[in-house]
Homo-oligomer: A and B are copies of this chain.
Amino acid sequence: MIRTSISEAAIDAAALLAEVTTDATGATALFLGTVRELNDGRAVTGIEYSAYTTMATEELQRIAEEAALRFDGLRIAVEHRVGTLALRDISVAIAVAHARRAPVLETSRFIIEALKQRVPIWKRERYTDGDLRWVDPTTQAVDTATP
């Protein structure tokens, strides 16, 4: 079972847990990314996530399908949120279940690492002083115009 989505809807972590856990699974892993207050020492008030939605949707699904090839019987649900998020809001949730724990832990990590490398999603951090900055994990943050 695989379900992935890119959506503006708030992510319900408990619902993802319930979705992947069955009588046949013995281990479930949930990974959550949340908006945190400090990045590079600057106070963040929120993050605007945007995406190349059609490609991001397809690429996220491809990642989950690649992950599912590595172990039989995996159950995978992944949601990435876009739009304006506040502190502590969940930006991404990856739920994985399987009979055994090793496939669960390895798959959870595989998906978050691949997602961060490949899914065309961008984020712009908003700081307490009103400044906005695109986050570029490949270098330092890139300055952008203040609105």
Which A positions have Cβ atoms within 8 angstroms of B?
13-14, 17, 21-38, 87-88, 99, 101, 104-105, 108-109, 112
**Beta-carbon nearest neighbor of A98 in chain B:** B36
Known: A25-B34, A26-B36, A29-B31. 9 other contacts (CB 8 A): A21-B32, A26-B34, A27-B31, A27-B34, A28-B31, A29-B30, A31-B104, A36-B99, A101-B112
A32 → B minimal CB distance (Å):
4
User: Min CB distance, A114 to chain B, in Å?
Assistant: 13
CB-CB nearest 4 A-B residue pairs = A26-B36, A30-B30, A23-B37, A28-B32
Whether the Cβ atoms of A34 and B21 lie closer than 8 Å is yes
Cα of A13 to Cα of B22 in the assembled complex, Å: 16
For the complex, give the distance between the alpha carbons of A32 and B25 in Å: 10
Known A14-B13, A29-B30: A23·B88 in contact at CB below 8 Å: yes
Considering the complex, give the chain B residue whose CB is closest to the CB of A105.
B109
Instruction: Please indicate the chain B residues that have their CB under 8 angstroms from the CB of A14 in the complex.
Output: 13-14
Task: Collect the chain B residues with CB atoms within 8 Å of residue A36's CB.
Answer: 23-26, 99
12 contacts between A and B (CB under 8 A): A17-B32, A21-B88, A23-B37, A24-B37, A24-B38, A26-B33, A26-B35, A27-B31, A28-B31, A28-B32, A101-B112, A105-B109
A30 nearest CB neighbor, chain B only? B30
